[in-house]
Structure 1
């Protein structure tokens, strides 16, 4: 059975932190407890975990503050993603382990969500698309490092969709370009396609 703390942690990480309207606001602990169906103690325990991950800031006598996604965080996130994902593309090609079917399935799932009101599932698919390539390398330490970026990646992705009305269509085209490059077996073209995709998302986020 999932503990109250885990329920609160997952909800905060996946739903609350992924809501652009929560940026620059304090978490309402009681409202969140009522929504999830737990006491405030698990909420506070979950917030301590998120504070340790630097996803929220605990302010004395005020509570948990969700800081806006800042330029420094965006640049660092995409720098790390670029290093991991470009390496994963090259290594997966070397191993003949590129998960083209899985990536195509995630892309088709995204296409089905292009007009959905809630952007979170679209961005969940976005993460799964990229994670499939990283996981194909078979390096568990690399997997853990990449999965540790998930909350920030989803948060940034949702914000990007809100900031650019045509971003969903652009993401679909950029993902298609990544698949085409990987299918061709060209490591440099694959790295360039991944880099172009990440740089465009970063540009949208930094543009504000």
Structure 2
């Protein structure tokens, strides 16, 4: 085999190891294996993932860019703490983009995005299993599909850039306040109905309630 072929295979193997490390560490953070504020040991992570330290280090840099961890000089990677201020700012940013989307969708009488009802049902099924990570992932897909349905690729890209923080916020919300689940599920159903009825004002009203921090949640994120 040529040197070029060997180099290509080595690069592919390294990328695969990096992706494996990225997926494993990110999932461990989302599911609470690593708690907020905890420092991560590269050697231990490499052992868990079954790679060398280099792919782990590369994965941590990617996770830093996505706001999962902070790289602290001479101390390593620390799981980021999501506080009440960041929670409020994420909700604000989401409301601006999502409210614009539902107004446009209803104004054009487009109805709901494809598969939106199936996503709601899948979320409810995951919630019955208390699989908060899957609920959060599906929730992000559901709301992103609404933004995408509006038809502005730049806004969709901006919205999806918040995905890691949005998912982490949802996982922690459900972990801290699982009693919020019934309200969240009801509002998803109500938003779906309002979009089907082309009712922009009602859709925005539901989003305002859906993305509003309740006092118990603010208190939980302030600890």
| 1:25, distance to aligned residue in structure 2 (A) | 0.5
| 1:193, distance to aligned residue in structure 2 (A) | 0.5
Q: Does 1:156 align with 2:178?
A: no
| 1:121, distance to aligned residue in structure 2 (A) | 0.7
Aligned match of 2:37:
24
Q: Does 1:65 align with 2:78?
A: yes
Question: What is the TM-score with the length of structure 2 in the denominator?
Answer: 0.84
User: Separation in 2 of the partners of 1:35 and 1:60?
Assistant: 23
CA contact (8 A) 1:159 1:205 kept: no
User: Separation in 2 of the partners of 1:160 and 1:192?
Assistant: 21
Q: Does 1:3 align with 2:16?
A: yes
Aligned match of 1:207:
219
Q: What does the per-residue CA deviation read over 1:171-198, in whole Å, with 9 as the maximum and x for residues that have no partner?
A: 1111111112112211111011011111
- Give runs of aligned pairs for residues 156-175 of structure 1, distance below 5 A: 156-175=169-188
Structure 1 residue ranges without an equivalent (≥5): none
Q: Does 1:40 align with 2:60?
A: no
Aligned match of 1:129:
142
| 1:61, distance to aligned residue in structure 2 (A) | 2.4
- Give runs of aligned pairs for residues 91-170 of structure 1, distance below 5 A: 91-170=104-183
Match for 2:69 among 36, 51, 56?
56
Change (3 A) 1:44 1:192: same
Cα RMSD of the aligned pairs, angstroms, is 2.0
SS at match of 1:166: helix
CA radius of gyration, larger in: 2
Structure 2 residue ranges without an equivalent (≥5): 1-11
| 1:101, distance to aligned residue in structure 2 (A) | 4.5
User: Separation in 1 of the partners of 2:208 and 2:185?
Assistant: 15
User: Separation in 2 of the partners of 1:141 and 1:204?
Assistant: 34
User: Separation in 1 of the partners of 2:175 and 2:132?
Assistant: 9
| 1:86, distance to aligned residue in structure 2 (A) | 0.7
Question: What is the TM-score with the length of structure 1 in the denominator?
Answer: 0.89
Q: What does the per-residue CA deviation read over 1:115-145, in whole Å, with 9 as the maximum and x for residues that have no partner?
A: 2143111111111111110111222211111
Match for 1:182 among 195, 198, 208?
195
Change (3 A) 1:64 1:193: same
Q: What does the per-residue CA deviation read over 1:49-100, in whole Å, with 9 as the maximum and x for residues that have no partner?
A: 3323443211222210112111121111110000011111112223333435
| 1:203, distance to aligned residue in structure 2 (A) | 4.5
Structure 1 segments of 4+ aligned residues over 6 angstroms from their partners: none
| 1:109, distance to aligned residue in structure 2 (A) | 0.6
Q: What does the per-residue CA deviation read over 1:17-59, in whole Å, with 9 as the maximum and x for residues that have no partner?
A: 3134521101232232223222111111121233234432112
